[in-house]
Structure 1
Amino acid sequence: MHLAANGVGEWSETGVYPKNAIMPIYVGIIHDKADTGIGLQVYSDDRSRDDASPDIRVQVRIRGDQSALPAGIGPTTADRIFTILHDQQHLTLNNHTAVLLCRRHLRAPEERDDTGRWTRADSYTFTTNPGG
């Protein structure tokens, strides 16, 4: 997983994490019982501009507290994700997908979820070249 390889979050192929995992990465929603985590959810596959290079929109939801590293979401995890992804060109993700350009197009405010945990959901557009 690209984020974990760059020092943000922990990745498990099985999606099962030990109780002491600091910032587990989930494909889809963050597990309800996890107090911290990064959820990656694809919500759009737009091929209207170019069938060969679709724009894939991904919501990156971070759950944590507002403290310092490693689990803080304010100036730490979400901003580190921004540094790793925003304006990056010609990168290859772990599933061998070629990304021509990645841009954050929405930065949401930090807010509390229904259980009082802090969350932030930013959205990124990955312009990909699946055959590239």
Structure 2
Amino acid sequence: MSLSYAESLSYFPHKGKVGMPELNEKADDLKSKLDQFEQMIRQSHHTVVITGAGISTDAGIPDFRGPNGVWTLEKRGEKPSFNTSFDKALPTYTHRALCKLEENNYLHFVISQNIDGLHHRSGLPLDKLAELHGNVFSEECEACHTQ
């Protein structure tokens, strides 16, 4: 499946702010934030992570509102042209890190807006994952709900 999925998205006029810049943290600031994050996870009794399109951009799957996001390009009158396919995209470092947190009982559940299947492909168990918009690699029977 190619990323021409963007062309098949339903018309949606209120896309929010598009063309958002990428954030680049200074190394010292990032280290401090990661230390705080580590402490929060270690102290948490039930950690849930919510992910969106940004987690998959390093896999070559575009986001929607970033500098080259699907909706940003649309607003400029351009069509996205990506050669990445969902079946060839690989889980990113962040997908794998979340999987490792789950394996070590620090992460209890992931809620994802993504349809790319990369959380599951990274090794995250399906019973620890809610894919709000579905998954391009799974189908469900409308009658009996079997996947």
Q: TM-score, normalised by structure 1?
A: 0.23
Is the helix fraction higher in 1 or 2?
2
- Who wins on radius of gyration, i.e. which is larger? 2
Q: Whose RCO is larger (CA < 8 A, sep 6+)?
A: 2
Q: TM-score, normalised by structure 2?
A: 0.22
